[in-house]
Chain A
């Protein structure tokens, strides 16, 4: 691209960008987005608080570390005081695992498996029929940690304070859904679904912006003036880039404002009386917990701390840019073919189909993000921007992302090129809509357009 061509492209881009970001609708949407986003998370917190249900735990002590046998093949904890009575948590102990049916029949909600390995690793599996709440899980971890510490202390003689500190134990329970075998909770899937929903919305909304922009230029005939200075390809590229940049600005603004809002909400919670009472109920020393501790304690929200937000936002932005570019090319072609927006309605259906299909897939793959369908759809360029966003929070091999983006980038470049060929002829056609044969001819004859 020559310097002059670049200048023209940049001027078009600037116009498309500036005229949109200063619209009141853009400002309102940009400011309201994060409020909705933080509201969604706050809603999830309230939901988890209100749906607290009692947990009945089957503790399988394979190596007899924490239990002693009684008559009638019953087992009791060797440290009963380590498991205080709580209305929301009830323990039963044994040496044998139970299958799903047994657990269900006997009313257990989850099962913890312990063996000698826990003394080193301090990790154990929490197989659940129903995932425990964050508070219940925290209680379990603290009870088991205390029981193990007692065991370790009992085996020592002449214990000094440093030795005691070395014996301090913090058991971590790894939650696994016993029926699906999925280690991750629903949180990541839900987050991925929300991201994919945002992606779908952004691609469609900004793609439609491109279409409307093209229709506006065509219907008010300004395009002829513009094309006497700017190549059709430059105009289209500037338009797609400028409007895409508006989308990126909104994404960046949402990310920044959400982060600031979360920070504000966190600080407000930390300084509230609610924090004091929460700290007390968790058995923590006053002033030792912060907002992150609250999040970490909530099973349904703790995953938010594990998410690599940089990767999520970076990949999200890249998928938006590439996916939007591809769909914007389709929308621009439709815009060039019609003279008013009403005429574009039925032409939009074939463009919307792959996006809607990938949205349906996204909703199906929340529960099975590693299914073959989910993986394939995250490679297919028409669905990958939406489908990959569902998989990303669960952790995806880097080469999956690289391959998916490469395929998407190649396809987007191909379709933008084709769209430019159709656009430059169709944009000046009035009174007659191009036929399918004409469109094919224009795409095959690149020399049939402007100077």
Chain B
């Protein structure tokens, strides 16, 4: 079995009386794009700060590439925090090279690679410009370059698209995918942008109040979160059908559209949540005895719905 890039076991962290992380077990495998999700104050930043060596866990085990975490491993990571800035008194390229040098990169090699990155992210003209002259979006791109220039094996990006217009967001997204696909970089993406999570992440980890409430491959998580929800389009006596359904399943919504049927009968659409012991084929076998089923599809939840549902159920 492959060694995970990141592995935590029973990791905790508290600041005074406030518990930031309850015992937490997390695993990130090499070459994957993992979304780290959670509402504000869930403990995401605390976990990322531990991984990036800024703080230490109070208890538990934190391993990187199979080794207990230590500072020498930090140069194998790139970290773009949510709240980020640049030194205003430095020039753009000089600043990026400063970070690359800090991370142990050879200056000449860094300069050569930096030119490539400037071309790819379309910021060629900014090499010798003052940082103070950068727009927010431009600064975001420079910060992204500073994070990836030293070719980290693990890239941790906290809200990497904030401040970027759709064109530049797509440009950065494309580079992130290229790093994963071509260079085998592992990517941990912390974001509230669920569209990006759906588009990019192979796996998600959802934290709430310092605890892990959901984890797994994105598709599986979305499927699991569906909880037997289906949409049924049918013709027949809706009232009688609902009465017959009774407490067997939860009726989520119902609607009727007139004149859609050749026979002049109304077509109804209902959304129901089937209990665990009543799979969809069994339900359909039962339903056709009561109404004419025109269409039945599993309801697919968006990541946003998964997020809200998971947080709400964890909260309750």
A-side residues, CB < 8 A to B, are 4, 7-8, 11-12, 15, 19, 23, 216, 219-222, 224-231, 428, 447, 449-451
Contact = CB atoms under 8 A, between A and B. Distances in A.
Interface stretch (B23-31, B36-44, B53-61, B183-191): B53-61
Q: Interface residues of B toward A: which range?
A: 20 to 34
A220 to B, nearest CB: 3
A428 B50 CA distance: 13
B84 A221 contact: yes
B164 interface: no
A11 B55 contact: no
Contacts of B80: 225
A221 B143 CA distance: 12
B101 A11 contact: yes
Contact of B102 (A8, A19, A222, A450): A8
Contacts of A220: 85-86, 88
B99 A225 contact: yes
A61 to B, nearest CB: 71
A7 B72 CA distance: 13
A201 to B, nearest CB: 22
Contacts of A23: 89
B98 A449 contact: no
Interface in B63-97: 69-72, 74-75, 77, 79-81, 83-90
B12 to A, nearest CB: 14
Nearest to A20: B89
Most A C-beta atoms less than 10 A away, residue of B85, B88, B143, B146: B85
Contacts of A229: 74-75, 99, 102-103
Q: Which of A4, A221, A228 has the most CB of B within 10 A?
A: A228
B69 A224 contact: no
A1 to B, nearest CB: 13
Given A12-B102, A221-B81, A224-B83, 5 more contacts: A224-B49, A224-B81, A225-B143, A450-B53, A450-B55
Contact of A222 (B56, B75, B85, B104): B85
B209 interface: no
Contacts of B140: none
A381 B75 CA distance: 40
B8 interface: no
Contacts of B54: 224, 227-228, 428, 450-451
B85 A221 contact: yes
B269 interface: no
B141 to A, nearest CB: 15
29 contacts: A4-B104, A7-B104, A12-B102, A15-B90, A15-B98, A19-B90, A216-B87, A219-B85, A221-B85, A224-B49, A224-B81, A224-B83, A224-B84, A225-B85, A225-B99, A225-B146, A226-B102, A227-B52, A228-B52, A228-B53, A228-B54, A228-B79, A228-B81, A231-B71, A449-B55, A450-B54, A451-B54, A451-B55, A451-B70
A8 to B, nearest CB: 6
Nearest to B79: A228
Contact of B53 (A4, A428, A451): A451
Nearest to B72: A4
Nearest to B150: A229
Contact of B56 (A19, A225, A227, A451): A451
A451 B69 CA distance: 8
Of A222, A226, A447, which is in contact with the most chain B CB atoms at under 10 Å from its CB? A222
Contacts of A12: 102
Contacts of B56: 447, 449-451
A320 to B, nearest CB: 24
A335 B85 CA distance: 17
A226 B147 CA distance: 11
A228 B84 contact: no
4 tightest A-B CB contacts, nearest first: A220-B85, A451-B53, A221-B83, A228-B52
Nearest to B55: A450
Contacts of B101: 11
Contacts of A451: 50, 53-56, 69-71, 74
Contacts of B104: 4, 7
A220 B79 CA distance: 16
Contacts of B49: 224, 428
A120 to B, nearest CB: 67
Nearest to A232: B54
Contact of B74 (A228, A428, A447): A228
Contacts of B89: 19, 23
Interface string B120-158: 000000000000000000000001001100000000000
A19 B143 CA distance: 19
A177 to B, nearest CB: 52
Contacts of A228: 52-54, 74, 77, 79, 81
In the complex, which of the residues A12, A227, A447 has the most CB atoms of chain B within 10 Å of its own CB atom? A227
Contacts of B146: 225
A11 B104 CA distance: 10
Nearest to A447: B56
B98 A11 contact: yes
Contacts of B75: 229
